[in-house]
Amino acid sequence: MELLTDEERLAELSVDQLKQLVGLVEYDPLADPFPVVGWDAVVWVVGNAAQAAKFYQLAFGMDLVAYSGPETGNRDHSAYVLKSGAVRFVIQGAVAPDSPLVARHAKHGDGVSDIALEVTDVDKCVAYARTQGARVLDEPHDLTDEHGTVRIAAIATYGDTRHTLVDRSAYHGPYLPGYVARPSTVVKPDGSPRRLFQALDHVVGNVELGHMDEWVAFYNRVMGFVNMAEFIGDDIATDYSALMSKVVANGNHRVKFPLNEPAVGKKRSQIDEFLDFYGGPGAQHLALATNDILTTVDSLRAAGVEFLATPDSYYEDPQLRARIGNVRVPVEELHKRGILVDRDEDGYLLQIFTKPLGDRPTVFFEFIERHGSLGFGKGNFKALFQAIEREQELRGNL
Ligand SMILES: [Fe+2]
């Protein structure tokens, strides 16, 4: 069993790096009824894919690798495939006025439509998922072109989000049949970092009040995911709002899904705000793993990406230094950039959160640099949520 995916090998990542970056662990896929290798792609539906694809190249330093659209015979929508390390985004936008993407975008705004996963046996996974009550959206089928054949299917998850399951072991094209290779037109300035992130660490789903456990059970039962960590109650309650969160992961821990639901607080929680503006459950944030968060944050900020502000008191708190111990960069450097630190029994992590990227207060990004810790920044939740609430209040949604 190969430990690295093709994408990781292409990105020149090693097993040791991935253990550090995303907490990859060894496990026995033969004992897994639904063996997931890792992430395949995050598919976005946006209002203007041409411009969003430029944003991810110019600000996030991603490389355009493939394209589908009217010029390639796809009259419905255009789609741009972008890569950074092992991370693949597919940015789709409607071209035809009657494209199904128009209605989807009207309902949800810019957001994630599909968290596609790489599996070794699409048919086995779908057959098992069906016995466990999953809704199969696309039956297993082949897509073929001159680069080979992809076996593909899709099952439904929370809201209008889907998991496409892909076996691309017999395919050597740039993405999928229907897409053509397309190089970036963006010229990176001399001296800019090769890439700002290497891997996708986790994707968080927001679901409605009272439904978190159902979705945890869905990932346990249908996809054989294991429970990683649990945060409930005081950990992530502020004076005003609260949420509950549980984390599930696939066998090798490459794919991690924290699932949040709102908890009853004095005011509306950030999860309520998301559900209202997204029009139901959906992907709330994507955590991108970097091995140099200082450079990543400096580059993103220089490109105009805005982050949640961390109060000075966070860094001045005498308990912070005691709690975090030795970290690889001086606290002053973290303070300057608003980067948060958390430590647990396994190590520590550095993390920072962007503001929502689109017009609606919905999806945003986290950048994370792990040093042994397999956690999600539990010690930062309170400071973080207070920062989010300040933003919510400015939007009139608290
Ligand atoms: Fe996160």
Same domain membership, residue 300 and residue 208: yes
What residues make up the domain containing 167?
6-181
- Encode pLDDT of 289-322 as tens digits: 999 999 999 999 999 999 998 888 888 877 788 8
Residue 20 lies in a domain: yes
Provide the pLDDT confidence category of residue 265 given band limits of 50, 70 and 90: confident
Q: Is 366 annotated as a binding residue?
A: yes
Query: Phi and psi of 133, rounded to 5°?
Result: 90, 15
User: How many angstroms does the Cα of residue 4 sit away from the middle of ligand 1?
Assistant: 23
Determine the distance separating the centroid of ligand 1 and the alpha carbon of 22, expressed in angstroms. Answer: 12
* Pair 172, 316 in one domain: no
3-state secondary structure of 290: coil
Distance (angstroms) between ligand 1 centre and the Cα of 292 equals: 17
| Position 74 in a domain | yes
The Å distance, Cα 367 to ligand 1 centre, comes to 8
Distance, CA of 21 to CA of 18 (rounded, Å): 5
Q: How high is the pLDDT of residue 367? A: 98
Q: Does residue 28 sit in the same domain as residue 128? A: yes
pLDDT at 270: 86
Task: Report, as an integer, the average pLDDT of 5-28.
Answer: 90
Q: How far is the CA of 189 from the centre of ligand 1 (A)?
A: 30
Residue-level pLDDT at 257: 97
Q: Residue 374 — pLDDT band, cuts 50, 70, 90?
A: confident
Is the per-residue pLDDT at 233 higher than 60? Answer: no
CA 123 to centroid of ligand 1, rounded, Å: 31
Residue 1 inside a domain? The answer is no
Task: Please tell me whether 108 is known to bind a ligand.
Answer: no
| Domain end position, chosen among 154, 181, 208 | 181
- Split into its structural domains, the chain has a count of 2
Contact 40, 272 (CB under 8 A): no
How far away, in angstroms, is 187 Cα from ligand 1 center? 31
Shared domain check, 371 and 308: yes
Mean pLDDT computed over every residue of the chain: 92
Judgement on whether residues 389 and 246 belong to the same structural domain of the protein = yes
Whether 44 is covered by a domain: the verdict is yes
Span from the CA of 374 to the centroid of ligand 1 (angstroms): 11
69 vs 85: CA distance, rounded Å: 24
Q: What is the mean pLDDT of residues 360-370?
A: 97
At residue 363, the pLDDT reads 98
> Which pLDDT does position 211 carry in this prediction?
95
Looking at the fold, whether 156 and 276 belong to one and the same domain comes out as: no
Residue 194 lies in a domain: no
Q: Is 253 annotated as a binding residue?
A: no
Q: How far is the CA of 379 from the centre of ligand 1 (A)?
A: 12
Residues in the chain, overall count: 398
| Closest by CA position to 362, among listed 22, 113, 64 | 113
Residues 166 and 204 in one domain: no
Mean pLDDT of the region 64-92: 97
Q: Which of 101-105, 220-224, 226-230, 255-259 has the lowest mean pLDDT?
A: 226-230
188 is a domain residue: no
Question: What single string gives the DSSP state of each residue in 38-94?
Answer: EEEEEEEE-S-HHHHHHHHHHTT--EEEEEESGGGT--SEEEEEEEETTEEEEEEEE
Residue 165 and residue 251 in one domain: no
Alpha-carbon 304 to chain mean position: 21
Q: What is the greatest pairwise CA distance in the chain?
A: 62
Q: What's the gap in Å between 194 CA and the centre of ligand 1?
A: 24
> 119: Cβ–Cβ under 8 A, 6 or more apart, which residues?
34, 35, 36, 37, 125, 165, 166, 167
Residue 131 lies in a domain: yes
- Condensed to tens digits (0 to 9), the pLDDT of residues 113-132 reads 999 999 999 999 999 999 99
The CATH number of whichever domain residue 226 belongs to comes to 3.10.180.10
Is pLDDT at 1 greater than 60 in this prediction?
A: no
pLDDT band at 268 (very low <50, low <70, confident <90, very high): confident
Burial category of 6 from C-beta neighbours within 10 Å (exposed 0-12, middle 13-18, buried 19 and up): middle
Strand partners of residue 119: 36
Same domain for 175 and 42: yes
Task: Give residue 287 CA to ligand 1 midpoint distance, Å.
Answer: 6
> What integer pLDDT is reported at residue 337 of this predicted model?
96
